Every structure is written in C-alpha cells, then in structure tokens.
Amino acid sequence: MIFNLFQEILEYIQQNFIYLHPGYTVLNTTVFGTILGISILFIIKMFKYIKKDPADLILPIFPFIFFGSSARALVDNNIYPINYILVTPGIYLITGFMAIFTVLFSVYIERKTNINYRYIIFTLGTIICIPNILYMAPINYIASLQVIGVWTLLSLIFLFLKDKWALLKNRFNLYILMAHLFDASSTYIAVDFYGYTEQHVIPSLLTGLVGSAIIMFPLKIAVILGSLYIIDSYIADKKIANMLKLAMFILGIAPGLRNFLSLIMGV
C-alpha cells in the first residue's frame, strides 16, 4: 500500500511538474514561483556572506543563462534528447547549482590569487557553452533579423529616454527592461509569424484574448517598470534590491534566449 502511494505521488509530480510535454499550469507556475522566491532568499544570504554585489554579475553570469536556454532550445529542436535533466525544471536546477558553485569557487580563487572573480565566472561559463554552440543547427537569419529588429527598435526608444527618466538612468534597470523586451520580441515573432504558441499561463490567456502576442510588449513594460520603481523606492538594502533585480534580469533574458534560439533553429 505504501509502495502504491509512493508510486502515485511520483506519477503526480511527473505529470504536473516535470516538463516532458508542452504547457504550464496555474499549479506548477505557483509552485515554481514559490521555490524561486525561497531560493532568492538563500542566495541573498550567500551574497552577504561572500560580500559581493549581485549587480556585478549581470555580464559574468550571462554564459550560464545561455547554457541553460540553449540546452532547452536544442531539446525543442530534437537535437538533444528529451529527458529529466534537459527539460524544466531539471536543466534550470542544474544550471542554477552550477552557477552558484562557480560563484563561490571564483570568490575563493580571487581571495587566494587576486584574480577578479568575475573573469573566472565568465570564463568557466563560456567553456560549458561550447558543446551547445557546436550542436546548433543552421540558423534561419530571416527569423533572427525579425526578432533583433523589433527588439532594437523598442530598445532605442528607452535608450533615448534614459537621460530624461530617473528610473532608467540606472543602467541595471535599463538592462532588465531590455532583457524583457527581448523576451517579448522573440515571443511576438514566434507566435504571430511562425505559428508557435505561448506556454505560460497569464501570457497565454492574454494572447488568446487579444489574438496576438503583441500584448507582451505593454504587459512587460508595465510590470517591469512598476517592479523596478517599487524596488528602488522601498527596498533600502542594496544587496537585496540588486538580487531581486538580477533575478528579474534572468527571468527576462533566459526565456527570451530559449525562444529566440528555438525559433531560429526550428524554422
């Protein structure tokens, strides 16, 4: 009886939380969000312990983001096999643990050798990306230019506004907004021009109501600018504020890259 109950629990987890089939639900989105929030609390404590600013990692951590997103894109296009390690949440858990370990290792090496820990993180992250890059299929340049073109046009608007808008004078804030604009651009082009479907719960609902993924642009802009304003106005602790912002950056650029790479390899 206990064995059967255990099997039923495993089957329930597999069906609702292991991403072997398309689509997110309210349940797994809520659970994943809760886990992410708890993880951020622990990571904030880690940054306070190692006495580093999360804002300094926006560039060094990028190869790890690319690693996780490109691995998922390679699965999407049947270049990598579908298994528990390479799908959500497996690939992102592995990537997250690798990134955290690399940060701690790099800080340790910096203290022993005076080599800037950010260089070590970026170098190690770049190395692990090499197999993914080598396995990438021929690129569809038309789809690439469509996404990059839309993203560039929208980004230029905020680049021109940054000196007139206090919120965007902070480069970190600007990079976060641009990351989410990239996610919105890749989603819009994939859904509206190439027949892809939105998989996340709220964006999927809004896209269905409007009949176009163009809704992602005002949605992203409103939510991100609103969140950045709240963080800058009400969170005094710099490490907490910058960790929340780093998480926002990752939540924008990671799915954006995954969508972009899946699209340009799959068209």
Q: What is the pLDDT of residues 109-123, one digit of tens each?
A: 999 999 999 999 999
pLDDT at 2: 58
User: Among 61-65, 201-205, 216-220, where is mean pLDDT lowest?
Assistant: 201-205
Quick one: pLDDT at residue 1?
Answer: 55
**Percent of the residues in the chain that have a pLDDT greater than 90, as a whole number:** 65
Query: 40-68: string of b/e by CB count within 10 Å (b at 16+)?
Result: beebbebbeeeebebbbbbebbbbbbbbb
**Is the per-residue pLDDT at 20 higher than 70?**
no
77-106 pLDDT, tens per residue?
Answer: 889 988 778 777 778 889 999 999 999 999
Q: Give yes or no for a contact between 86 and 106, defined as CB atoms under 8 angstroms apart.
A: no
Read off the pLDDT band of 133 (50, 70, 90). Answer: very high
**Average pLDDT of the segment spanning 18-30:** 61
Mean pLDDT, residues 147-159: 96
Cα–Cα distance for residue pair 76/82, rounded to 1 Å:
8
The model's pLDDT over 52-76, given as tens digits with 9 standing for 90+, comes to 999 999 999 999 999 999 999 999 8
Other CB atoms within a 10 A radius of the CB of residue 87 amount to 20
For the stretch 251-263, what's the b/e string if a residue is b when 16 or more beta carbons lie within 10 angstroms of its beta carbon?
bbbbbbbbbbbbb
Q: Answer left, alpha or beta for residue 212, where phi above 0 means left and psi between -120 and 50 means alpha.
A: beta
What DSSP state is assigned to residue 200? Answer: S
